[in-house]
């Protein structure tokens, strides 16, 4: 039997993918608040809820509150950065994911971040209590990120010393736990000096002990289903199959000119690029022990997976380049290997030497050596597919022009090599992933500072506010088949302001191609004409549904909605408002022709939720 302790995790990370340079974009779901919130909610429910409703199964910790998405840019580090954020951006972008995970997922933990927010370290900020506990009725615990309490006085210089930092965090931020040693070392001084009270200490103790009771840690072990787990229930065939299915679903086909993919098996395939033997790079950061010897040798590399499907005798390989370094000789070696091949697979991208916690990127382009490699391979005029291994987006403008096929794999996980190979050779019947972020051109980073935390400042951030032309838009992704998306329109199209009236949007999806595949129905809200208001919002995702269809299969999907999806955030006050005017429901799968339906709101403007005052 395996003892499950401590039944507490410091995840999920549901910060917004605000800027493509951020080193931790690999950890977060999306640039979209709804998508981040759904991820946070479902992650929370999956870990906390179990078959025995008496107990919480595992306590999650949502991170990082608040407005955290900078590691080391513009002369700042995450330890001393003061994020200047408007009420609008907090309500519109930075809070919605946490709200959904707390109010709908019942998350039991939140982590406050290293940075300051508008002059106050987040772990001392009254909004931490006002929003989480008073408004959202959060009843769990709050912990600091590791070392964040020390940062209050040592990096932000918000307080003069450690005891004052403890008092500010306990009293003002109601941060229950210090991930560090400052509470341990200075709490008694803070209480004895009167900077904080025993009531503050008791409240923090209550919040943390209560969770231990909810976990059942004070109850007899024999009464608890989660205290002991059979080893046979770990790494089951079902879990492995589910992992593989999810990985296959995550593959995103960005480009496939003239149906270059899938490749035919048994032909001569050259596998080229710095990630052909990737194992550790496939799984990204923050992971447990995957292989018995604590190495990554049990992970199948892309090259090994391609050889397994295509045959070793039909597969040749050469790296041609490292992630950052190459020589003319190494590139020529790759060209020599590829020149007699029928197909070429280019495994290119980045790794944790370029993007990681504490390490923002200074470029969103592919490293120059890899550009040289891909150009040399493209010059051979072979049928070539590039596979991207990366966390943050890559501005591959050159490769988009030169190569017929491109797959975005991300850091695809334990079964990433197999999923890549299956996708290349047409064995992925779940291909149909969609981009969770905008792919900007490479010069985007020269138009806005990394430390600018606003979403609407020119040229704008995310698909909701970006005014430029992306290389690929949020929500885009092809399949090896085609789809038709049709709808008669919403069940209602006129609503009173302030209403949360329910209505539905029936959508019919048809697989019009010759292969089985997936697509994702996406529904957006877009303001059209608001006579008394000016908003920067282009559109906002309000619902989505993934479907799996065989050739010629038709599937009806009913999307439940309510009139409050047309609520927006006042750019001046940060209040959530329902504004009269004309709107559109925009329906698409990111590829098929877009459907648009008009909706109107009538009446006076209604303030649905005021920005909290502290």
Q: 3-state secondary structure string, 559-599?
A: EEEEHHHHCEECCCCCCEEECCEEEEEEEECCCCCCEEEEE
Please say whether the beta carbons of 396 and 214 come within 8 A: no
417 close to 302: Cβ distance less than 8 angstroms? yes
End-to-end CA distance of the chain: 50
Outline where 49-147 has alpha helix (H).
Answer: 87-89, 96-103, 126-129
Q: In residues, how long is the chain?
A: 614
360: its two tokens: 């923002």
**Residue 185 appears among annotated catalytic residues:** no
Distance CA 324, CA 350 (A): 8
Give the integer Cα–Cα distance in Å for 109 and 61.
4
Number of H helices, E strands in the chain: 15, 25
Active-site annotation holder among 19, 32, 145, 151: 145
Q: Rounded CA gap, 483 and 521, in Å?
A: 10
Q: What angle do CA 544, 546, 550 make, to 5 degrees?
A: 145
Instruction: Give residue for tokens 């550009």.
Output: 371
Question: Which candidate, 301, 325, 327, 326, places its Cα nearest to that of 315?
Answer: 301
Give the containing element (helix H, strand E) for 418: helix 416-424
Say if residues 285 and 356 touch (Cβ distance below 8 Å): yes
Torsions phi, psi for 50 (to 5 deg) = -140, -170
Task: Read off the tokens for 478.
Answer: 């092809």
Residue 523's beta-bridge partner residues?
Answer: 543, 587
Kind of pairing between the strands at 315-318 and 269-272: parallel
* Count of alpha carbons within 13 angstroms of residue 188, beta-carbon side: 3
Q: Give the pairing of strands 517-529 and 568-569.
A: unpaired
Query: Which residue in the block uniquely carries the two structure tokens 């329902």?
Result: 578
Residues annotated as catalytic (active site), given as ranges: 145
């Amino acid at each position: 039997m395996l003892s499950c302790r401590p039944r507490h995790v410091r995840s999920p990370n549901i910060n917004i993918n605000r800027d493509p340079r951020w080193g931790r974009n690999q950890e977060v779901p999306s640039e979209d608040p709804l998508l981040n919130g759904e991820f946070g909610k479902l992650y929370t429910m999956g870990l906390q809820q179990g078959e025995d409703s008496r107990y919480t199964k595992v306590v999650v910790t949502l991170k990082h509150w608040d407005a955290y998405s900078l590691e080391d840019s513009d002369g700042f580090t995450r330890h001393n950065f003061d994020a200047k954020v408007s009420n609008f951006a907090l309500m519109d972008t930075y809070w919605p994911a946490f709200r959904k995970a707390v109010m709908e997922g019942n998350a039991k933990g939140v982590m406050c971040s290293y940075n300051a927010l508008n002059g106050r370290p987040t772990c001392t900020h009254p909004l931490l209590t006002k929003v989480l506990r008073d408004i959202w009725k959060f009843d769990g615990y709050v912990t600091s990120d590791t070392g964040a309490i020390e940062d209050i006085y040592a990096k932000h210089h918000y307080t003069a010393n450690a005891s004052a930092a403890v008092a500010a965090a306990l009293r003002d931020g109601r941060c229950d736990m210090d991930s560090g040693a400052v509470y341990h070392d200075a709490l008694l001084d803070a209480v004895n000096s009167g900077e904080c009270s025993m009531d503050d200490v008791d409240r923090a103790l209550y919040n943390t002990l209560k969770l231990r009771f909810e976990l059942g840690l004070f109850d007899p072990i024999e009464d608890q289903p989660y205290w002991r787990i059979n080893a046979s229930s770990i790494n089951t065939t079902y879990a492995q199959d589910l992992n593989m299915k999810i990985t296959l679903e995550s593959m995103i086909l960005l480009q496939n000119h003239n149906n270059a993919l899938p490749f035919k098996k048994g032909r001569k395939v050259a596998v080229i690029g710095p990630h052909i033997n990737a194992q550790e790079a496939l799984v990204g950061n923050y992971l447990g022990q995957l292989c018995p010897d604590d190495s990554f040798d049990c992970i199948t590399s892309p090259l090994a997976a391609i050889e397994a499907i295509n045959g070793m005798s039909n597969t040749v390989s050469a790296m041609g380049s490292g992630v950052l370094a190459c020589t003319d000789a190494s590139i020529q070696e790759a060209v020599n290997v590829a020149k007699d091949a029928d197909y070429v697979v280019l495994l290119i991208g980045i790794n944790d030497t370029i993007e990681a916690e504490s390490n923002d990127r200074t470029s969103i382009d592919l490293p120059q050596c890899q550009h040289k490699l891909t150009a040399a391979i493209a010059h051979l005029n072979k049928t070539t597919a590039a596979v991207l291994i990366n966390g943050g987006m890559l501005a591959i403008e050159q490769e988009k022009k030169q190569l017929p096929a491109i797959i975005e794999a991300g850091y695809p996980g334990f079964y990433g090599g197999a999923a890549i190979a299956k996708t290349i050779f047409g064995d992925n019947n779940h291909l149909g992933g969609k981009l969770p972020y905008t792919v900007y051109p490479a010069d985007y980073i020269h138009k806005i500072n990394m430390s600018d935390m606003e979403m609407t400042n020119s040229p704008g951030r995310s698909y909701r506010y970006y005014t430029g032309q992306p290389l690929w838009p949020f929500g885009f992704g092809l399949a090896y088949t085609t789809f038709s998306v049709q709808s008669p329109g919403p069940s209602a199209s006129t609503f009173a302001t302030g209403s949360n009236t329910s209505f539905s949007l029936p959508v019919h999806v048809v697989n019009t191609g010759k292969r089985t595949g997936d697509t994702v129905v996406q529904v957006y809200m877009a303001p059209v004409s608001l006579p008394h208001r000016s908003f920067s919002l282009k559109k906002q995702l309000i619902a989505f549904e993934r479907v799996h269809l065989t050739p010629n299969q038709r599937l009806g999907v009913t999307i439940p909605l309510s009139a409050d999806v047309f609520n927006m955030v006042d750019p001046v006050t940060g209040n959530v408002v329902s504004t009269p005017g004309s709107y559109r429901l925009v329906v698409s799968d990111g590829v098929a022709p877009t459907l648009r339906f008009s909706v109107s709101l009538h009446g006076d403007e209604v303030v649905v939720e005021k920005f909290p005052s502290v």
